[in-house]
Amino acid sequence: MNKLILIGILLAAALSRIIPHPPNFTPIVAMGLLGGAYLKDKKLALFVPVAAMLLADVLLGFHNTMIWVYGSLLLITGIGMLLQGRVTFLNTGAATLSSSLLFFIVTNFGVWFAGTFYAKTFAGLVQCFTMAIPFFANSLAGDIMYAALLFGGFALLKKSEPNLLISNT
C-alpha cells in the first residue's frame, strides 16, 4: 500500500507541471528525492519519478535537453536514496539544496552543449550559466516548496493514518 501511495504522490506532483506556474517552479527535485528516500526498491525508485516526468512531458512536449533533465533526475533520486532511514529536516534540506544546484549545473550544461544559443567555447558556457542565474531563484523556491510539501505531507500522512501505511515501503 505504501508504494502505491508514494507512486500516486509522485504522479500527482509530475502532473502539477501541466498547470500554470512560474518558470522553473517545478516538483522535479522533490519527486526524485521523495522517490529515492522512500521507495526501497532501487529500480522502482529510479523508474517512478522518470515515468511520472515522461507522462507530464507527453502532455507538455519534448525538447532537445531532456536527456540532461532526466539524467539529473536520476542523480537526484540517488541523493534521495542516501536519505533512506535518515529523513530529517536538516538532511532533507541539505539534499534539496544540493539537488537544486546539481540540477542547475547539469541542465544548463546541457543547454549549452545541445543548444544553439551559445557559442561552443568556454566564454559561451560562462554566458549560458550567467544567463541562467535569474531562473535559479524560481528553481530553488520550487524545490524547497515542493520538498516541504511532499516530504511534510507524507510524514503527516504516516503520522495521522498509521494503519494506511505498511512500515516497509
CATH number of the domain that residue 15 is part of? 1.10.1760
Residue 11 lies in a domain: yes
For residues 152 and 38, is the Cβ–Cβ distance under 8 A? Answer: no
**Could you tell me which residue, 33 or 165, shows the higher pLDDT?**
33
pLDDT in tens, 58-117: 888 788 888 999 999 999 999 999 999 999 999 999 999 999 999 999 999 999 999 999
Position 3 pLDDT exceeds 80? no
In tens, the pLDDT along 9-34 reads 777 777 777 777 787 888 889 989 99
In-domain check, residue 168: no
Structural domain that includes position 116: 2-160
Contact indicator for 73, 31 with CB cutoff of 8 Å? yes
Report whether pLDDT(164) > 90.
no
pTM (two decimals): 0.85
Long-range contact pairs involving 52-59 (C-beta distance under 8 Å, separation at least 24): 52/10, 52/11, 52/13, 52/14, 52/15, 53/14, 53/28, 55/11, 55/14, 55/15, 56/14, 56/15, 56/17, 56/18, 59/18
Assess if residue 166 is contained within a domain.
no
Q: Residue 167 domain-assigned?
A: no
